[in-house]
Amino acid sequence: MMRVKKSITLAIIFSVFLSGCILNFSNNSGSDSPSSTQNLYIENKGSDTIVNMALAWAETYQELYPEIRISVTGGGSGTGIAALINDTVDIANASRQIKQKEIENAAENDVIPVEFIIARDAIAIIVNQDNPVNQLSIQQISDIFSGKITNWSQIGGDDRPIVKLSRETNSGTHVYFLEEVIRQGDKEDATLFSQDTLLLPSSEGIITEVRDNPNAIGYDGLGYITDEVKVIAVAVTQGDDYIIPSVASVNNNLYPIARNLYMYTNGEPAAHVREYLDWILSQDGQQIVQELGFVPILDN
């Protein structure tokens, strides 16, 4: 009987000791500084426009702070914002601004989106290198993608059918192009992409198709444009100056199809996430923006 009591006593002492160790470990694991020896994790998801930039930021930052682990995945702005609403990511990337309905859905889950503008972008209108068309107005672009203009001969090109290419509907670039180019910012306009528009899952896919198809027209973020395609000069209306997208024309507010790029967090981010965002917004982080062909916000 004495041996049983002794065993119970030892078990209680060990249990108290173990609980103390667990509590102490928990209290010491809350450091959010990159200088901490504790490994810290950041999950980053969303816009395919931003994904290459986000990967470059993550790789560089992890070299500077090996204790920080950053996971970056694409899937589109809608995917990133949905993950934010469900509170399953630290940072959601979006190439469009979050919508009021999405903010309301987030609030139902006690999620409060906080917005960070992390770069700017121009949406370039691209055609095959052999296409003789060099410039278009916003109205002509709208008429092409809504199906009112169907042949290149209607806008000074060869007698060929126009093949329209777009990103998929989950893409923030798709949404932005629909609202700001096809509908020209008119919230009452219900115009849609023409039903024969080909929806492609990636920016690179649009570049490849335009490169290989002399009848194709598409749109892409400035950072994805290559010499394999021709970039069209764009005017707000016919008779205005036709502007080629570039860092300079975006910063000088000359190119008419330009937008901000965003990251969203749930409320004020944890310290290690905030430090990462501060670094993205720093000169070092914005240098990567410029190197990848996008528009640094420090130049605005």
pLDDT per residue over 267-278, tens digit each?
A: 999 999 999 999
Contact 55, 63 (CB under 8 A): no
pTM of the model: 0.83
- Two tokens, residue 87: 């509170």
Average pLDDT, the chain: 89
Per residue in 166-197, pLDDT (tens digit) is 999 999 999 999 999 999 999 999 999 999 99
Dist CA 56 CA 40 (whole Å): 18
**According to the model, what pLDDT value does residue 34 have?**
55
Between 300 and 85, whose confidence is greater?
85
Are the CB atoms for 271 and 32 separated by under 8 Å?
A: yes
Euclidean distance between CA atoms 220 and 186, whole angstroms: 22
Q: What is the pLDDT of residues 140-170, one digit of tens each?
A: 999 999 999 999 999 999 999 999 999 999 9
Q: What is the pLDDT of residue 254?
A: 97
Average pLDDT over every residue of 23-37: 38
What was the pLDDT predicted at 13?
36
Q: State the pLDDT confidence band at 39, using cuts at 50, 70 and 90.
A: confident
Residue 229: how many other CB atoms lie within 10 Å: 23
Cα–Cα distance, 288 to 53 (Å, whole number): 7
Q: Are 288 and 53 in contact (CB under 8 A)?
A: yes
For residue 233, pLDDT over 90 is answered with yes
- CA–CA dist 247, 112 (Å, integer): 32
3-state secondary structure of 68: strand
Beta strands at 135-137 and 233-235: parallel, antiparallel or unpaired = parallel
Average pLDDT over residues 16-39: 40
Domains parsed from the chain with CATH numbers: 40-120+260-299 (3.40.190.10), 121-258 (3.40.190.10)
Q: What is the pLDDT of residue 35?
A: 46
Burial degree of 32 (CB within 10 A; 0-12, 13-18, 19+): middle
**Looking at 7-11, 61-65, 74-78, 235-239, which range is the least confident one?**
7-11
Is the pLDDT score of 16 beyond 90? Answer: no
What 3-state class would DSSP assign to 13? helix
Cα angle, residue 85 at apex, residues 186 and 52 outer, rounded to 5°: 75
248 three-state secondary structure: helix
H or E element at residue 220:
strand 216-221
